[in-house]
Amino acid sequence: GNVALDVARILLRPTEELATTDIASYAWTALEGSSIRKVYLVGRRGPVQAACTAKELREILGIKNLYVHIREDDLIKSPTDEEEMKNSRIQRRVYELLSKAAASASSQPMLGQRELHFVFFRKPDSFLESNERSGHVSGVHFEKTALKGGGPGKQYAVGTGEFEDLD
């Protein structure tokens, strides 16, 4: 499965639900005291190429009191994406689930909601150091990407030379 998706699911799931699983007690204690409320899942390619199953995606999208955000621009499909979806039921279902989550999301998270942000077509370039706390990371500098390559299943991400920061 997709490790990043699994990590995000653990970080965002209510700890009372985790208490009934086989999670190690020290991990549960750390999560119980954690201030993490917002998780960004960043991918170099697009939602059609997302490396997860529909089941894994449904699990994380089904977390109670979770705000999900996906940029509209990231959901635009190319003709090659359309062909890839036509040839792969899994990729089609994953894309449909992401599109549905984006369409049903409110414009802003409600007070107390945990947040999951899917960000596609970005690759990490460098970490940003905090101005307030020396030696601490405050964000990530990303290069935007675009898909290149042959046909369905053979697209790869290349940097565009455009950058943005995620704080």
DSSP state of 35: -
Q: Is residue 26 part of a domain?
A: yes
Q: Is residue 102 part of a domain?
A: yes
Domain count, the chain: 1
Q: What is the pLDDT of residue 20?
A: 87
| CATH at 86 | 3.50.50.60
Q: Is residue 36 part of a domain?
A: yes
Q: Is residue 131 part of a domain?
A: no
**Entry pTM:** 0.90
Containing domain of residue 112, as a range?
3-123
Mean pLDDT by 10 residues, the chain (167 residues): 88 90 91 92 96 94 94 94 94 96 86 94 96 93 94 90 95
What does the alpha-carbon distance between residue 158 and residue 143 come to, in Å, rounded to a whole number? Answer: 9
Q: What is the pLDDT of residue 143?
A: 98
Q: What is the pLDDT of residue 83?
A: 94
Q: Is residue 129 part of a domain?
A: no
Please provide the DSSP assignment of 139-167 as one string: EEEEEEEEEESSSTT--EEEEEEEEEEE-
CA of 159: how far to CAs of 9, 12, 162, in Å?
28, 30, 8
What does the alpha-carbon distance between residue 154 and residue 31 come to, in Å, rounded to a whole number? Answer: 39
Q: What is the pLDDT of residue 73?
A: 94
